[in-house]
Chain A
C-alpha cells in the first residue's frame, strides 16, 4: 500500500529500509507505549481518577510544575545572557565556555544529582554558607538539599543547554540592518533591544523555554538526590518509582499516563512555536 503512495525514484532500497524502520520502531517504541495505553484503558475511570488525583500525587504535580517553571524562567534570563555573550562578544576562553553549556546534557543525571547535592546541601560547598534561617533553606540542616529550592536548582541545571542552544542561532541570524536602521532613526540601544531584538527572538525564547520546561517535567536522576525521599519534595517521577517499588502498578500507570499526556502536549506546543516562528520569518519577506 505504502509503495503505491510513493513518488517514483531511481534509487533502490526503499522497501528494505522502510520495512526495517517500521519493524524496529514498532518493536522498540510503539509496542511498549501501546502496553501503557492498553493498561490504562483497562482501568475503570474511577480507579484511574482516584489514583491520578490522590492528594500526595497532586502535591507532586504542583511541586514538579512550579519548580520546572521557575527553573526554566531562571534559565531564560541567564541563558539569554550566555547566548548573547557567546554570539556577539569576544572574551577569553570563549570556546571552552561554549562547550561548557552542553555539560548538563553530557553529564549523566545521577552524576549531576550527587554533585549538586555535594554543593547545595547543608554541609556542601555553597550550602554551608546558607543558614537554616535563610528563606527557602532547610529549617534544620541549612542549605537547599531536601527543599523545593533544591528541586528547582536541579531542574534549572539540566535545562540550560536547551535555552542557550535554541537562542544562539537565532541571535546569530538577527538582521543587523534593522538594528542600524533603528539607530539611524534615533533609537537608543535599550529601545532597540526592547522593541526589535526581544520581539524578533520571542519565538526562540519561547521554544527554548518550552524545551527546558518539558525536559524538567520528566526529569528524575538529577533531582532525587537533592530532593531526598520525603513526601514534601517528591516530584512526580519519584512518586511513580515509589508506586512501582510498592507493586502499586495501577497507581504508577495512572500517573504515568497523566505525565505522558503532559509531555506530548508540550511537544505539540513546541511544534506550534516552531511553525509560528517559521511563518513569522516568511512573513518578513
Chain B
C-alpha cells in the first residue's frame, strides 16, 4: 500500500520518483487547464445560464412573478407529491431487495440482480410508452379502466407510475453491494443472542448501511423530481393538472415565455445543487465509516453513473499481496 499512499507526486516521495512517475510541469499545467476550462465552460456555464436567464431580463420582481401563477404552484405541488410517493415505495423495495439478495444465497440470484437494474437501461421515453401500452385507451387494461372510470394515463397515477419505474433501482443498487460486502456475521451474532428479525434489521443492519441508504434516497429523489421524458409521454400536458415542474418548463419555453421557463428551471437547478452538496457530504461520511473499498459490486449503468464509486472500485491491488 505504501507506493499507493505516496502516489500523488506532490504529496510526498523523493525528487527522483517525482521526475520518473509524473509528467513534466508544462504537461501538468496544460492538462489541468484543459480540464478546468472544459468543466467550467461546458458543464458549469449551463447552470449559470439558468439563473442569469431567469433573473436578468426582468429582475427579481419578474423572477418571483412566475411563482405567483397558480399553474406554477400546481406544478410544484404535483412534483412534490410524485416524489413523496415514488421515493418511499422504492425505499421499501430497496430494503427488501437488499435483504434477500445480499444476506442470502439462492438459485437465480444473479438474474434477479440484473432484472432490478433493467429500468436504468431503458430510455425514459420507452419507460413512459410501456405504461401507455398497459393503461392507455388502446392498451391492455385501457378498456377495463375506462369502464370503471379510472384515469391512469394523462392523469396523476400515470405520472407517479412512470416516476416509480425510472427511479426503481436507485436505493437497491446502493444497498446491495454494501450489504454484500458487510456479510452476515453481525446479523448471525445478533440472532444467536436471541434477537428477532426486526431487531436484527433495526439495530444491526440499518445502522450499518444508513449512509448508503441516504445516498440512494437523495439520488432517487433528484431523479423523481426532475424526470422529464417518461413523465412527458404519460402526462398529456394538461396545464395545472398533469404538469410537473419539468413539464411546465417545457410548456413555458415553447410559449416563448423564457423568463418564466428559466425561473421554474432555477428551482430544479437549486435542487440539483442541494443534491450534489448532500451527495458529497454523504460520500465523505461513507468513506469514513467503511474505509476499505469493496470488491466488485454493481456495474455502473446507463442513466446513472457508478453509484458512489468508492464502494465499487475493483480492489486488485489487494490481490497482489
Contacts and interface: CB of A to CB of B under 8 A. Distances in A.
B20 A183 contact: yes
Interface residues of A, number: 116
B202 interface: no
A100 B134 CA distance: 39
Interface string A200-212: 0000000100010
Contact of A211 (B115, B168, B302): B302
Q: Could you tell me the dominant secondary structure of chain B's interface residues?
A: helix
A214 B302 CA distance: 6
B139 A241 contact: no
B64 interface: no
Interface in B236-267: 246-247, 249-250, 253, 261-262, 265
B125 A241 contact: yes
Given A10-B188, A175-B317, A100 B39 contact: yes
Interface string A1-25: 0100111011111101110111011
Interface in B49-104: 49-50, 53, 93, 95-97, 99-101, 103-104
B99 A180 contact: no
A177 B1 CA distance: 11
Interface stretch (A47-55, A80-88, A134-142): A80-88
Contacts of B119: 29
Contacts of A28: 161, 164-165, 168
Interface in B27-67: 27-28, 31-32, 34-36, 38-39, 42-47, 49-50, 53
Interface of A: 2, 5-7, 9-14, 16-18, 20-22, 24-25, 28-33, 35-36, 38-39, 78, 81-82, 84-91, 95, 97, 99-112, 114-116, 118-119, 125-126, 156-157, 160-162, 165-166, 168-170, 172-173, 175-177, 179-180, 183-184, 189, 192, 207, 211, 214-215, 217-221, 225, 237, 240-241, 244, 249, 252-253, 256, 259-260, 263-264, 266-267, 270-271, 274, 277-278, 281-282, 284-285
Given A20-B96, A107-B46, A244-B129, 6 more contacts: A103-B43, A107-B268, A160-B42, A218-B124, A220-B229, A237-B124
